Amino acid sequence: MVFGCFKKKGKAGSKSLDELKRDIVIDDHEVPLETLLNRYSTSVTAGITESDAAQRLSRDGPNALTPPKQTPQWVKLCGSVFGGFNFLLWCASIASGIGYYMDVTTSEDDVPKDNLYMAVILATVVSVTGLFDFYQDRKSGSLMDSFANMIPPKTLVVRDGQTKEIEVKELVVGDLVRFRGGDRVPADLRVTLARGLKVDNSSLTGESDPQTRNTKFTSKNPLETKNLCLFSTSVLEGSGEGIVVLTGDRTVVGRIAALTTQVDSGPTPLAKEISHFIKIISVVAFTVGIAFFALALVYEYPIIKAIVFFMGIVVANVPEGIVPTVTVALTLTAVKMRKKFCLVKKLQAVETLGSTSTICSDKTGTLTQNRMTVTHLWFDGEIRDAEVLPPNDHFRGEKKYGQNESYQKLMRCATLCSRSHFRVPEYDVPLAKRVVNGDASEVAIMRYCEMIRGDGQVDEYRKQFPKLSEIPFNSTNKYQVSLHPMQNQNQNLLVMKGAPEKILKICSTYYQNGETKNVSKKFEKEFVKAYETLGSYGERVLGFCDLELNPNKYPLGFQFDTENVNFPIKNLRFLGLIAMIDPPRPGVPEAVRVCQNAGIRVVMVTGDHPITAKAIATQVHIIEEDEDVTQIIDHDPKYNTANDEIYGKGRLRKTSAIVVHGEQLATMSPKTLKTIVTNYQQIVFARTSPAQKLQIVEAFQEAGNVVGVTGDGVNDAPALRKADIGIAMGIAGTDVSKQAADMILLNDNFASIVTGVEEGRLIFDNLKKSIAYTLTSNIPEITPFMSYVLLGLPLPMSIVAILMIDLGTDLWPAISFAYEVPESDIMQRAPRNPKHDNLVNKRLVMFSYMQIGAIQACAGFTTYFVLMMSNGWFPKDLLGISEQWENKYIEDLEDSYGQQWSYEARKSLESSCYGTFFFTIVVTQWADLLASKTRKNSLVMQGLENQSLNGAMIFTVFLSTFVLNTPYVNTVLGVQAFRIEIAFLALPYALIIVFYDEWRKFCVRKWPSGYVYKETYY
């Protein structure tokens, strides 16, 4: 085996990803201390020499985390400006520029600047949206910076027998380090001396309770053994010394940092959809463009003109407004989610949550309150529900047991036998939020006692019975004792609490129903039954006992000695049990149920104990109550865990629910894990390591799931990074977890995820509607060019008019879909299947192009021909006339009545045609806007409460009127006003669109598997 001090310092990235995914394997905590000292040539009193330290520092490198290779900012900028759909728009912009250049170089006459305007405007739009995306990514910050902030700058080390302070980065393996409460552990250490030492490992292991550390080897798992302190964890109390066994990238946190920076979730589901959309539009645009290039050659157009036609068709097929529409829609949704306590760091993550099919949730602080709370009491032989402490309000409920003598004595013991206290009086603050000093269990009991006694009454009660002496809790005795005078009874009181089995052993009597009785076999059985029942709830249980001391032997004023105990600590009187748990957050069970109804599987992945995890999972509906649960917790020698296991055989019983211990997960084959995530619907993974959390996420992703992960600790960072969407906690979350995540829950409440899921599904639906609306106008925009090339008609609409639609009248309406309310079934349907339910699919393209788009094109040509006929040009006489129409040297072109038209008069009429066609598309797009509000619901059911969309319709009226009638503006844009009666011809087509789509949606609702559904439900 190779150990830390013999390994060459390499960059974090030099370790293979597969190696980092495996749990750390060392034996520095298992071997006898003498063996360890010999291995690292060190001493528990003098440490190593300065010369040894210099050699090891040179060989192993500094005790610091190696930053990964960073992508240059200019590369990220180019990706934002030129990547994705922007690339297609750049192609359209360049094509327009080339088209203008060809026109200029091949024509001696003045050339229309339509293509030039198109090129400049497209380049501007794409650049602005690309820069906005780059700005959003820049705000994400550096992940390694947050890891670096966890490392203390200096530490105390013993070298050559002398204690000195050095920078943490100068530590080497074998160094003897001294630390105390308030410090951060400067490396992975083997503890050689501990004085009441407790550390906070929550950021690395998920354990919310302070962890005792001493010199004893208690587990092969380096994360759980009591004789190791881990790099970057906090020392809560006590002091200690230890030998450095791992430094820098080789430490537990170093491996997590390297793993976090190397894994990547890949492109988001929305990015994949945009890429799919690009392929569809590209194929359509280039297919149609090439077809018309070929037709232009067949019709004997010059090659240069045929190329210009080709580029015009390509540009006309590209929906120029899509990029700003998608960007603004995602931004607006992100703002909405921010108001609902969901902070989105990456815009595309807005939609990802809506696509999520599995959520792997941490337990502590996400599903639960991260606050121990008294839940059950056992006295007078019965388990009783404790009064519930409201998390955000003052207690106003009934105090149920106040008159019971047994309860009064239990409360007296719980109030006095405690080292916890309120930091300052905060009676205006809800009790659950007041700051209490003490460990988690004592704080829970303190809050419960204060709730029962009233604000400030615990301190008043303690003043009546001041503490004379105390034996603090320790891991050897497993109890805490304090002594108090009872002035009114002229005697002293001993109170004790501790591990229930320990408390029972030192009690010879118990108090029940107002009487003190001798402990009997029957009572012991009742005790065991109650203790096991409370333990099965996943609750932490403490036993309480007391003894009213003999006033003759221990009178008031007696000097109690806790070093050489001179008072009884046996034959005490048992009072009862108090059980507590970190309870579920309010609203979480309902939120989990909503997720399940929406087809989302919620999986618990925690570092906590399997019993506690299963209990909480049952309370929040991750595991259904009374469900038969397969439990893979202990090693069973009957099974060879290295073999692939089959669902329904051996350990994998044919049930819906399963609980898997991390130690058993470590021995499973990848195929067995895939079998578990595929076949079980209710899953709890307990005692998991950071590498295992990542392994679990990958297993779900390989099974075809879109995976969301919630977490708050450093140990969650690799999984958060790998997940399709990582969700960190805003209050309790570490900086590392926030940097690794895509979204942050500002209130740390799982229930907020439901909001995110609904908003994610809504934005996907609304983007579909927006794209369907935008693509529809492509057909009436393309067909004028097709008629010009194929039929030789005077051009019905100009490129500038197309731009005015795509980036003018269509833009606000397309963006306004971001404000559309959800349809009624949004949280009842299953998550979309990314393989089949695409943002843009065949049905959407066919519906937009061949149905609604075709109706709009008919409307446009109707108004075009009516305008032409009203000016003397019948349709039959317009066929094949385009070459003569555009010849500026023909000043006497005759219409159907024989009237002669000059070139200037023809161009003036053409401008009116542009205006007519433009306004007709605007009118029919109003109808399309209303039709696109829903995919399934009737417009009547959905209503018109989207004020942004309503405003967009009014905006398009004013904008189109302004464009058509404002001098100079209409000249620059090449459009002119026309008679109002012609505009009314577009209204019947608008009504046809609305009524046709209402009929379509009726058929979709009435026959959900019928022909209309299959062909038109996009």
- Helix pair angle (588-597, 751-776), 10° resolution: 40
User: What b/e sequence results for 268-305 when a residue is b if at least 16 CB atoms lie within 10 Å of its CB, and e otherwise?
Assistant: bbbebbbeebbebbbebbbebbeebbeebeeeebeeeb
Cα separation, 301 vs 146, whole angstroms = 64
Q: 329 or 632: which carries more pLDDT confidence? A: 632
Cα separation, 402 vs 425, whole angstroms = 24
Nearest 5°: the CA angle 705, 740, 83 is: 75
**Residues 585-599: pLDDT tens digits?**
888 999 999 999 989
pLDDT at position 150 is 55
Q: How many beta carbons lie within 10 A of that of residue 634, not counting itself? A: 9
pLDDT at position 4 is 35
Query: Which band of pLDDT confidence, cut at 50, 70 and 90, is reported for residue 3?
Result: very low
Residue 220 has pLDDT above 80, yes or no: yes
- The label of the residue with tokens 């921010």 reads 338
H/E element holding 1002?
helix 986-1006
Which backbone phi and psi does 374 adopt, to 5 degrees? -65, 130
Lowest-confidence pick of 478-492, 553-567, 734-748: 734-748
Residues 963 and 969 sit within 8 Å (Cβ to Cβ) = yes
R_g of the chain computed on alpha carbons: 37
Region 692-719: what's the mean pLDDT? 89
Query: Which band of pLDDT confidence, cut at 50, 70 and 90, is reported for residue 319?
Result: confident
pLDDT at position 360 is 94
pLDDT at position 680 is 95
Catalytic residue IDs:
362
Task: Name the residue among 403, 263, 111, 342 with its Cα closest to residue 718.
Answer: 263
Residue 689 has pLDDT above 90, yes or no: no
For each of the domains in the chain, give its residue range(s) and CATH number, in order of start. Answer: 4-61+155-262 (2.70.150.10), 342-368+585-748 (3.40.50.1000), 373-552 (3.40.1110.10), 778-987 (1.20.1110.10)
Q: 703 or 641: which carries more pLDDT confidence? A: 703
Region 394-421: what's the mean pLDDT? 90
pLDDT at position 9 is 35
Residues 630 and 653 sit within 8 Å (Cβ to Cβ) = yes
Residue 146 has pLDDT above 70, yes or no: no
pLDDT at position 190 is 95
Nearest 5°: the CA angle 389, 393, 398 is: 50
Overall residue count recorded for the chain in this entry: 1018
**Residues 274-310: pLDDT tens digits?**
888 878 888 888 888 888 888 888 877 777 777 777 7
**Residues 870-892: pLDDT tens digits?**
999 999 999 989 889 988 889 99
% of the chain exceeding 90 in pLDDT: 41
**Residues 795-815: pLDDT tens digits?**
898 877 887 888 788 888 998
Q: How many beta carbons lie within 10 A of that of residue 153, not counting itself? A: 9
Query: Which band of pLDDT confidence, cut at 50, 70 and 90, is reported for residue 525?
Result: very high
Cα separation, 3 vs 561, whole angstroms = 48
Cα separation, 429 vs 447, whole angstroms = 13
Residue 84 has pLDDT above 80, yes or no: no
Region 138-149: what's the mean pLDDT? 53
pLDDT at position 530 is 94
% of the chain exceeding 70 in pLDDT: 94
Task: Name the residue among 568, 569, 556, 557 with its Cα closest to residue 489.
Answer: 556
pLDDT at position 1 is 30
Q: What is the DSSP string of 507-566?
A: EEEEEETTEEEE--HHHHHHHHHHHHHHHHTT-EEEEEEEEE--TTTS-TT----TTTT-
Nearest 5°: the CA angle 252, 254, 260 is: 105
**Residues 840-850: pLDDT tens digits?**
888 898 999 99
Provide the mean pLDDT of the chain: 86
**Residues 487-502: pLDDT tens digits?**
888 899 999 999 999 9
Residues 719 and 733 sit within 8 Å (Cβ to Cβ) = no
Q: 17 or 713: which carries more pLDDT confidence? A: 713
Cα separation, 214 vs 51, whole angstroms = 30
Which residues, in sequence order, are CB contacts of 245 under 8 Å at separation 6+? 3, 4, 26, 28, 29, 36, 40, 173, 187, 188, 189, 190, 228
What is residue 612's DSSP assignment? H
- Helix pair angle (405-416, 457-464), 10° resolution: 90
Please tell me whether residue 16 adopts helix, strand or coil conformation: coil
